[in-house]
């Protein structure tokens, strides 16, 4: 009882402290900034609603720090102030904060286009008016140009930042080409919605996020408004697994749930493969010869845009001169966790400190202060990455780190994982499981409606007990193994449908690979009611739609019984498997309802009927001639 009372007192104290800090932040913003709302004209005559917060202290000049967003730059009205800015350290350091509703959203004029493609033609000298090409980069350019002339007290330097979708607009600022844009921070930036971010992973539709997000966000806006649109809410069950299973094939969503009226949902249905429509929405090929300093930020446990953060940084690194200022920060954070949480824990896993503090206090302020004010010394490393497992911040001069070597861990027998390849004269081995779309593998064991953030490091013991999940693990480790960089799944697969598929139709399969840290059975402690002894912590999981094994542009089916190699990259990790722990790999063919179900016939999934979903026998080969396994970038000792 005494311990309980102390805990309760601590919780009350923490809540009171948070409330006091929030009140202090709100008072600081209102007391120290003047607010102005303007409509800024773009080169084609469209005007964008913009809120400008200028420090009341006019004794010096300040850089502009801007965020462009499709999520509203509320609160609206010159007498209404936000309770806080994203990083109050920057607010207290002195900046002119600018927030803008992007074209076609909330109070801005024009038509909204999702992940509007970059148009290189807009990089030409802007014209005063008329029918000229526009994109998000040109809107950024025109906004910055207007601000320099009309935002009093600016020092001529502009920084741009944003998390998630605003992170995409930050990437567009990198491409804007305005000489006043000196520093840009794309944070969890939307980057490629087919290959790795948000609504597709390797061609598989991330069903829960796509449906829940676009059922509200995707509704057309007939005229400027300060109001958002509500998303779908008629669930009729508290269980998302039950809801999405009963919903059936994707084609049912148009009439059943009103998605027919959502333009971008229709686009998803009409572009099943990585065609020119998708390619146009990928900014990475354009990130060349850029001028602003860039700080890309992301979370190792970001369920939405972890891939985008890593690959925005890599694209800039690989396509620009070595001397260009390009950095990446990755912490043990959920989506936007560096700005919205303390970063001390996620679900049942703790990280030993308030990891967001180092970013809020030391990294982000140093970046913008140096490049926008010329204050301080730029001594941030190229890669500032938190290493889970060991729970420590690490720094590298490049990412992936140069001092790693690819080590392949081979699947052996029914449950063994070893860095030693099966002997050439060993008996041929393989393991078969049945993947049944009527009983897909859940992504978490909990019952809930919204997709959880915690699944990114959830206990995987519930999945390991299913017969359609293969489990391979090492013996307890005698020395630590540190894995830093992109992981490669390398599988040999064959399929059999027992004649259930339509005549002359090839087969298809999804492959989910999970990298797991198995805690020692003797470990004491309980988190959220979950015993940590034997805990199977998900370090990274990824799904791959098998039809894209050779090309995202030109899918191919599988011939029955024909062993086929499927090799794909899993987003980067930074994790140390400690002595006494075991390394585990799980392989399965569904991850529901996180990702949509594959009918397992080589047909257009977006046009498939409920009757088209069939069970498959999936065989993973693991002998010397077909050595299935996982390639881990292992830090050299």
429 band by pLDDT with thresholds 50, 70 and 90 = confident
Q: Structural domain of residue 444, as residue ranges?
A: 404-635
Q: Cβ neighbours of residue 438 under 8 Å, at least 6 residues apart?
A: 613, 615
Instruction: Indicate whether 557 and 433 sit together in one domain.
Output: yes
Instruction: Indicate whether 296 and 274 sit together in one domain.
Output: no
Instruction: Indicate whether 18 and 150 sit together in one domain.
Output: yes
489 phi, psi to nearest 5 deg: -90, 130
pLDDT of residue 164: 97
Instruction: Indicate whether 297 and 163 sit together in one domain.
Output: yes
pLDDT digits (tens, 9 = 90+) for 214-241: 999 999 999 999 999 999 999 999 999 9
pLDDT digits (tens, 9 = 90+) for 438-495: 999 999 999 999 999 999 999 999 999 999 999 999 999 999 999 999 999 999 999 9
Nearest residue to 416 (alpha-carbon basis) of 407, 429, 425, 427: 429
Indicate if the pLDDT at residue 567 is higher than 80.
yes
Instruction: Indicate whether 320 and 418 sit together in one domain.
Output: no
pLDDT digits (tens, 9 = 90+) for 290-300: 999 999 999 99
Predicted model pTM: 0.94
Which CATH number does the domain housing residue 593 bear?
2.60.120.260
Instruction: Indicate whether 75 and 147 sit together in one domain.
Output: yes
Instruction: Indicate whether 504 and 622 sit together in one domain.
Output: yes
pLDDT of residue 3: 42
8 band by pLDDT with thresholds 50, 70 and 90 = very low
Q: Are 215 and 230 in contact (CB under 8 A)?
A: no
Report the C-alpha gap between 281 and 271 in whole angstroms: 13
Indicate if the pLDDT at residue 286 is higher than 80.
yes
Q: Say which DSSP state 174 is in.
A: H
Final residue belonging to a domain, choices 396, 421, 455? 396
Final residue belonging to a domain, choices 233, 254, 279? 279
Q: Are 116 and 139 in contact (CB under 8 A)?
A: no
Report the C-alpha gap between 282 and 190 in whole angstroms: 9
5 band by pLDDT with thresholds 50, 70 and 90 = very low
7 band by pLDDT with thresholds 50, 70 and 90 = very low
Nearest residue to 47 (alpha-carbon basis) of 3, 100, 96, 8: 100
In this prediction, residues 23-38 reach a mean pLDDT of 93
Instruction: Indicate whether 215 and 298 sit together in one domain.
Output: no
Indicate if the pLDDT at residue 15 is higher than 50.
no
Q: What percent of the chain has pLDDT over 90?
A: 89
Strand partners, 471: 586
The gap from C-alpha 114 to its chain's centroid, in whole angstroms, comes to: 17
> How, if at all, do strands 392-396 and 383-387 pair?
antiparallel
Q: How many CB atoms lie within 10 A of CB 403?
A: 10
pLDDT of residue 125: 61
Instruction: Indicate whether 378 and 418 sit together in one domain.
Output: no
pLDDT of residue 4: 39
Structural domain count of the chain = 3
Nearest residue to 438 (alpha-carbon basis) of 624, 579, 288, 241: 241
Instruction: Indicate whether 313 and 416 sit together in one domain.
Output: no
422 band by pLDDT with thresholds 50, 70 and 90 = confident
Instruction: Indicate whether 500 and 461 sit together in one domain.
Output: yes
528 band by pLDDT with thresholds 50, 70 and 90 = confident
Final residue belonging to a domain, choices 251, 279, 307? 279
pLDDT digits (tens, 9 = 90+) for 595-618: 999 999 999 999 999 999 999 999
pLDDT of residue 124: 66
Which CATH number does the domain housing residue 229 bear?
1.10.3020.10
Indicate if the pLDDT at residue 538 is higher than 90.
yes
Q: Which two tokens stand for residue 47?
A: 């005007």
> How, if at all, do strands 62-69 and 345-346 pair?
unpaired
Indicate if the pLDDT at residue 560 is higher than 50.
yes
Average pLDDT, the chain: 94
3-state helix, strand, coil in the chain (%, to 5): 25, 30, 45
Q: What percent of the chain has pLDDT over 70?
A: 96
> How, if at all, do strands 582-588 and 510-518 pair?
antiparallel
Indicate if the pLDDT at residue 10 is higher than 60.
no
In this prediction, residues 109-133 reach a mean pLDDT of 83
Indicate if the pLDDT at residue 369 is higher than 80.
yes
pLDDT of residue 389: 98
Indicate if the pLDDT at residue 130 is higher than 80.
no
In this prediction, residues 341-362 reach a mean pLDDT of 96
Which CATH number does the domain housing residue 15 bear?
3.40.50.1820
Instruction: Indicate whether 251 and 226 sit together in one domain.
Output: yes
pLDDT of residue 126: 57
């Amino acid at each position: 009882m005494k311990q309980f009372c102390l805990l309760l007192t601590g919780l009350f104290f923490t809540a009171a402290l948070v409330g006091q800090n929030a009140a202090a932040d709100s008072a600081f913003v209102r007391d120290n900034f003047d607010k102005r709302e303007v409509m800024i004209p773009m080169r084609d005559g469209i005007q964008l609603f913009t809120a400008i917060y200028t420090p009341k202290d006019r004794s010096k000049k300040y850089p502009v720090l801007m965020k462009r967003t499709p999520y509203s730059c509320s609160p609206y009205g010159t007498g209404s102030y936000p309770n806080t800015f994203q990083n109050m350290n920057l607010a207290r350091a002195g900046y002119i904060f600018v927030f803008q509703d992007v074209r076609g959203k909330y109070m801005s004029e024009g038509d909204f286009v999702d992940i509007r493609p970059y148009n290189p033609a807009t990089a030409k000298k802007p014209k005063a008016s008329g029918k000229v090409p526009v994109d998000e980069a040109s809107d950024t350019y025109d906004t910055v140009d207007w601000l320099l002339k009309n935002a009093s007290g600016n020092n001529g330097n502009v920084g741009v930042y944003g998390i998630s979708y605003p992170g995409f607009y930050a990437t567009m600022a990198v491409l804007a080409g305005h000489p006043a844009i000196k520093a840009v921070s794309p944070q969890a930036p939307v980057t490629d919605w087919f290959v790795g971010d948000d609504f597709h992973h390797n061609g598989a539709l991330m069903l829960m996020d796509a449906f829940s997000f676009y059922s509200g966000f995707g509704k057309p806006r007939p005229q400027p408004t300060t109001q958002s649109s509500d998303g779908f809410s008629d669930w009729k069950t508290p269980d998302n697994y039950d809801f999405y299973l009963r919903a059936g094939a994707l084609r049912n969503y148009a009439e059943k749930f009103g998605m027919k009226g959502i333009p971008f949902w229709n686009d998803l249905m009409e572009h099943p493969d990585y065609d020119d429509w998708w390619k146009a929405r990928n900014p990475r090929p354009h990130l060349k010869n850029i001028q602003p300093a860039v700080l890309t930020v992301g979370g190792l446990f970001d369920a939405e845009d972890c891939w985008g953060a890593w690959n925005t940084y890599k694209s800039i690194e690989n396509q620009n001169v070595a001397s260009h200022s390009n950095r990446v920060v990755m912490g043990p954070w959920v989506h936007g966790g560096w700005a919205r949480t303390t970063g001390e824990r996620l679900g049942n896993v703790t990280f030993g400190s308030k990891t967001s503090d180092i970013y809020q206090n030391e990294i982000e302020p140093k970046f913008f202060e140096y490049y926008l004010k010329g204050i301080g010394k730029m001594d941030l490393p190229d890669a500032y990455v938190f290493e889970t497992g060991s729970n420590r911040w690490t720094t590298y001069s490049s990412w992936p780190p140069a001092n790693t070597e690819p080590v392949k861990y081979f699947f052996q027998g029914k449950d063994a994982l070893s860095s030693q390849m099966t002997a050439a004269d060993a008996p041929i081995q393989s393991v078969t499981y049945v993947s049944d779309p009527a009983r897909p593998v859940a992504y978490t064991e909990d019952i809930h409606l919204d997709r959880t953030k915690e699944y990114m490091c959830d206990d995987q013991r519930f999945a390991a007990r299913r017969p359609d999940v293969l489990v391979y693990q090492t013996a307890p480790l005698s020395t630590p193994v540190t894995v830093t960089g992109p992981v490669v799944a390398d599988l040999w697969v064959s399929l059999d449908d027992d004649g259930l598929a339509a005549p002359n139709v090839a087969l298809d399969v999804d492959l989910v690979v999970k990298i797991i840290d198995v805690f020692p059975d003797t470990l004491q402690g309980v988190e959220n009611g979950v015993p940590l002894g034997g805990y199977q912590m998900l370090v990274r999981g990824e799904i791959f739609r098998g039809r894209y094994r050779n090309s995202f542009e030109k899918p191919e089916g599988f011939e029955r019984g024909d062993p086929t190699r499927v090799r794909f990259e899993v987003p980067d990790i930074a994790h140390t498997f400690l002595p006494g722990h075991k390394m585990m790999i799980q392989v399965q063919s569904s991850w529901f309802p996180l990702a949509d179900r594959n009918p397992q016939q080589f047909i257009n999934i977006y046009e498939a009927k409920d009757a088209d979903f069939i069970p498959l026998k999936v065989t993973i080969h693991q002998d010397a001639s077909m050595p299935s396994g996982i390639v881990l970038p292992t830090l050299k000792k």
